[in-house]
Amino acid sequence: MTINERLKQITPSEIRAFDAQVSTIPGLLNFTIGEPNFDVPEFIKDAMKEALDKNFTHYAASDGLQELRQAIANFYQRRHQLDLNWQQIMVTVGASQGFMITMMALLNPGDKVLIPSPYFPLYGYSSILSGGDSVFVDTSADGFVLTPEALDHQLQGHPEIKLLMLNYPNNPTGTTYSKDQVKGLAEVLRKYPDVYVLSDEIYGDLVYEGDHYSMVQELPERTILLAGASKSYAMTGFRLGFLHIPADLYEELFKIFQTMVTCVSTPDQWAGVAAYNDGDQAIDDMKGEYNDRRKMIVDRMTAMGFDIPHPAGAFYVFPRIPAKYGDDDQAFALDLAEKAKVGVIPGSAFGPGGQGYFRFSYAAAYEDIAVAMDRMAAFMEVL
């Protein structure tokens, strides 16, 4: 059988594989997947039911309902003081489709994507499938953020870089960028006018200290903003994402989108209209609970002796594994699952800089996390 050679570079998800490996352990409390434990708010479900009852089940405009695109733009103005032009918003099948079509539109053979690492693995796979190559920059020595100096060094050394793949708050580390840090990166990028930024800000509503500051506010003419409803509203199964695209690129990305997908599910989009128009309190309520979990985890794990990069956003912590294991995060995560009945993901699944760490998702019930902390404390005592 002859297949596309690029597919030979794609391996099954290490995250899903490890999750499957440990999930069969009896009594395991699992914190491996970034899936909110909250249910979709009732008013969002009601909006979708109403759409079905009114037979809003036919094709929508390919780049999304105008009502949804305007609701998203209004939301970002209201919550983030960010001016988005609704006509530059394209509704996508989840955020994942967004970074796929962006890379397909921007990359030619030989072009490269700069990816700060640790990183969400689908970024690298999307680069491969789009015909590009990836340059990974290990951020572990700099608090798991890309510094202006490291960015400048990479862009000087790799003139083939066409796109910076930025993700903050970050999966897997939970770290994020302050306004000053974003401005510092933008200042470097202004020296390289042919480099675009794909800014994955899907966790932008889950920042616990200070305010989220978008790269769009600094470099609007070269930033493609990627976000969606999955994390903010616990709408993971709706597959509702969006891109805000510079005006001169919009039609190019639209060609790819329309070829791949006629449109996003119409009833899902009407649910999205309700979420972005009326969901501020739902976000605040969930965010408050996430923050309580975050504080408890940091306090408990620090007392156990774990070194934790500061988790200012998203719903992950990324602690250093105990010295006994060296950098063998796989062995640590297996021991923790088998002996303490706590499931986490080895940091090496997230690329360079992840070795010797593990990701713990606190998108789970507070009570389960508290039990997991007790189990981990007992495990650490006998190491």
Task: Report the pLDDT value the prediction gives residue 124, as an integer from 0 to 100.
Answer: 92
Mean pLDDT, rounded, of the chain: 97
What does pTM read for this prediction?
0.96
Q: Is 192 helix (H, G, I), strand (E, B) or coil?
A: coil
Q: Which three-class secondary structure string do you get for 42-84?
A: HHHHHHHHHHHHCCCCCCCCCCCCHHHHHHHHHHHHHHHCCCC
CATH assignment of 5-40+281-376, given 1.10.15.40, 3.90.1150.10, 3.60.150.10, 1.10.1740.10?
A: 3.90.1150.10
Q: Is the pLDDT of residue 13 over 90?
A: no
At 12, the pLDDT band (50, 70, 90 cuts) reads confident
Please give the angle made by the CA atoms of 313, 38 and 295, to the nearest 5 degrees: 35
User: Over the stretch 173-201, which tens digit does the pLDDT of each residue have?
Assistant: 999 999 999 999 999 999 999 999 999 99
Predicted confidence at residue 7, as pLDDT, reads: 87
Kindly report the backbone phi and psi dihedral angles of residue 163, in degrees, each rounded to the nearest multiple of 5, phi listed first. Answer: -145, 135
d(C-alpha 98, C-alpha 92), whole Å = 6
pLDDT at residue 383 in the model: 86
pLDDT surpassing 90 at residue 10: no
**CA distance between the termini of the chain:** 50
- 16-25, 35-44, 81-90, 189-198: which range is least confident on average? 16-25
Half-sphere exposure of 180 (CA within 13 A, CB side): 1
pLDDT of residue 5: 85
Residue pLDDT, tens place only, 139-162 = 999 999 999 999 999 999 999 999
Is the domain spanning 58-278 CATH 3.90.1300.10? The answer is no
275 has pLDDT over 80: yes
User: 71, 272 in Cβ contact below 8 A?
Assistant: yes
Write phi, then psi, for 198 (nearest 5 degrees): -100, 105
Cβ neighbourhood burial of 347 (10 Å; 0-12, 13-18, 19+): buried
Q: What is the pLDDT of residue 340?
A: 98
Q: What is the pLDDT at residue 382?
A: 92
Cβ pair 346, 358 in contact under 8 A: yes
3-state class percentages of the chain: helix first, strand second, coil last, to nearest 5: 50, 15, 40
- Residue-range domain boundaries for the chain: 5-40+281-376, 58-278
109, 112, 115, 116: CA torsion to nearest 10: 160
